[in-house]
Amino acid sequence: MDQLQQLKQMTTVVADTGDIDAIREYQPVDATTNPSLLLKAAQESKYAALLQEAKAWAGTGDDQLQRMSDRFGVLIGREITQIIPGRISTEVDARLSFDTQATIAKARELIQQYEALDIPRDRVLIKIASTWEGIEAGRQLEQEGINCNLTLLFSFAQAQACADAGIYLISPFVGRILDWHKQRQPDADFSFDQDPGVQSVSRIYRYFKTHDYNTVVMGASFRNTGEIQALAGCDRLTISPALMQALAEDDSELERRLTAETKSDDPREILTESQFRWKMNEDLMAHEKLAEGIRNFAADQVKLEQLLAAC
């Protein structure tokens, strides 16, 4: 078997793309989208009909472009659910990242749209940035039966807070952590287990398993196949089509690296809001990358709305 096939035997593989053709080719269980991926999809002619469908649904009014954007994301999600057996992750507008109640309201709207298209909520994950406000929104949504994917997660504190909030799934980023460290230490060896992003996800995984949290750990944002190989055995990994292809072209043996039996050295800790904010303040990498990620997703959201306005 190639490495992609081997990986699927120990980890649930998730497609990190809005490209329906790529999802059909690599046959992942789940798929994730975000504003950047939706912006890329919206510029391809094969999705023109979905853009027009979103425009017709949105109607007129001051919130037309936002409604079009939401609808386009849901329509892409609908197409993807016809291919995959599992769940589609659809992201809440990043501009709501610091507003708990607005995030909750938007998540409910997205779920209602999916259900109106005969896609049950148990096939959808609502993606929310891992701010304190986002995590608290996720806590309430989970209690309502709306499962969440907490994204833009860079720190152990974010993971702890998500687990204690009962979040269904988290997406700790790997490649963006590596980017931050490489920029500051360009000559350091960050290969395989030395990769700080790999170390972060491994620590989170061990902590969750040791303390019996049900929250799913899904490594995300990969820069190379070495990072994926180093996390083989993680609950889920969301992988771009290019890296899935690279794994599919590699016939060497893939070793399982993470197992539930590996114990954590971190004691269980339930963070208060002030403790969470202090830990984020003290973690320069997580503080900077979370803010940067929200800004970039918000910028791509604006670009998507501008594109929709012209269609």
pLDDT at 311: 81
pLDDT at 19: 87
pLDDT at 33: 87
- The pLDDT tens digits of the residues spanning 128-186 come to 999 999 999 999 999 999 999 999 999 999 999 999 999 999 999 999 999 999 999 99
pLDDT at 61: 86
Burial label, 56 (beta-carbon count in 10 A; 0-12, 13-18, 19+)? exposed
CA dihedral 289, 293, 295, 300 (to 10 degrees): 160
- The pLDDT tens digits of the residues spanning 172-193 come to 999 999 999 999 999 999 999 9
Which residues lie below 8 Å from residue 17, measured CB to CB, with a gap of 6+?
A: 23, 31, 33, 37, 240, 241
Q: Strand, helix or coil at 61?
A: coil
The alpha carbons of the chain give a radius of gyration, in whole angstroms, of: 19
Give me the domains of the chain, ranges plus CATH numbers: 3-242+249-310 (3.20.20.70)
CB atoms within 10 A of CB 30: 24
124-129 and 236-239 beta bridge pairing = unpaired
Amino acid type, 147: N
Read off the pLDDT band of 206 (50, 70, 90): very high
Q: Active site residue: 127, 209, 279, 289, which one?
A: 127
Q: Is 46 a catalytic residue?
A: no
Average pLDDT value over all residues in the chain: 96
Q: Which percentage of the chain shows pLDDT scores above 90? A: 92
Give me 278's structure tokens: 């202090």
Supply the angle between the helices 284-310 and 175-184 in degrees, to the nearest 10: 120
pLDDT at 92: 96
Q: What is the pTM of this model?
A: 0.95
How far lies 74's CA from each of 91, 162, 166, 196, in Å?
Answer: 10, 25, 25, 34
pLDDT at 117: 97
pLDDT at 199: 98
Say yes or no to pLDDT of 18 above 90: no
Give me 39's structure tokens: 């912006």
Nearest to 218 by CA among 172, 249, 287, 273: 172
Q: Which of 46-50, 232-236, 297-301 has the highest mean pLDDT?
A: 232-236
pLDDT at 294: 98
Q: Which percentage of the chain shows pLDDT scores above 70? A: 100
CB 174 within 8 Å of CB 201: yes
Nearest to 238 by CA among 153, 152, 173: 173
- The pLDDT tens digits of the residues spanning 269-298 come to 999 999 999 999 999 999 999 999 999 999
Read off the pLDDT band of 196 (50, 70, 90): very high
Task: Count CA within 13 A, CB hemisphere, residue 297.
Answer: 22
Read off the pLDDT band of 62 (50, 70, 90): confident
The whole-angstrom distance between residue 26's C-alpha and the CA centroid of its chain comes to 18
Measured distance CA(283)–CA(154) in Å, rounded:
9
